[in-house]
Amino acid sequence: MVRTSLVIGATTGAYGVAFGAAAASAGASAWQALALSLLVFSGGSQFAAVSVVGAGGSWGAGWAAAWLLGLRNGFYGLRVAPLVRRHRLPVRLAAAQVTIDESTAVAVANEADTTAAELGFWLTGVSVYVLWSLGTLVGALGAQSLGRPEAYGLDAAAPAAFAAFLAPQLRRRGVLPVVVVSLVLCAVAVPLTRPGIPVVLAVLPALVVAARRSGARAS
């Protein structure tokens, strides 16, 4: 369990380096990039925000895209809530902060054993949180030391890393059609709307599908 959590944390930390470089190329300082990782702590949302800003969109549009992508963590919270419900409020708040794809996946994989599920959730969540944040700082400081990150092609880091970050999700059943619809919607919106808006619109099909699936489980 410990080894699995550390491997997941180290792998995600590598993406953190890419995010730090992408944030720096979008104009954020190293400490601003680190604050994003410490406070937001959602890779997809963070990459979406800096991708929008890097493409010329406003931070408002970037945060809108980040918020929409972050809504999925609310659905994860429903799955892991039984594991932490018995704890005091500070512990539950900490659990909310580390409720992400990876920690939820490990918890669900061990749901037959409640103790193992909770242990896996915390080990993975904390491991990813620490290593993702450290990776962000390393990437941002490294990009800043280059002077002009865009001169080295680091302005392409955000979309490239975002695509790599989401690629494993394509193996899940029913995901590919949603991705295709989102891509078409985004492509149509690019020449018609301001920078940042296409990314926000592209998130909507996924939210509709997630809401329908959640409703189906509830019924």
Residue with tokens 């963070």: 46
Helix (H, G, I), strand (E, B) or coil at 81: helix
Q: In angstroms, rounded to a whole number, what is the distance separating the alpha carbons of residues 199 and 196?
A: 6
Q: In angstroms, rounded to a whole number, what is the distance separating the alpha carbons of residues 55 and 116?
A: 43
Summarised one tens digit per residue, pLDDT across range 170-180 is 666 777 788 88
Q: What are the angstrom distances between the C-alpha of 73 and each of 95, 129, 186? A: 12, 15, 23
Residue ranges of the chain with per-residue pLDDT less than 50? 154
Q: What is the pLDDT of residue 174?
A: 73
Q: What is the pLDDT of residue 163?
A: 61
Summarised one tens digit per residue, pLDDT across range 145-172 is 765 555 555 455 555 555 655 666 666 6
DSSP string, 45-80: HHHHHHHHHHTT--HHHHHHHHHHHHTHHHHHHHHH
Q: In angstroms, rounded to a whole number, what is the distance separating the alpha carbons of residues 23 and 165?
A: 15
Q: What is the pLDDT of residue 121?
A: 94
Q: Give the tokens for residue 12.
A: 């995600």
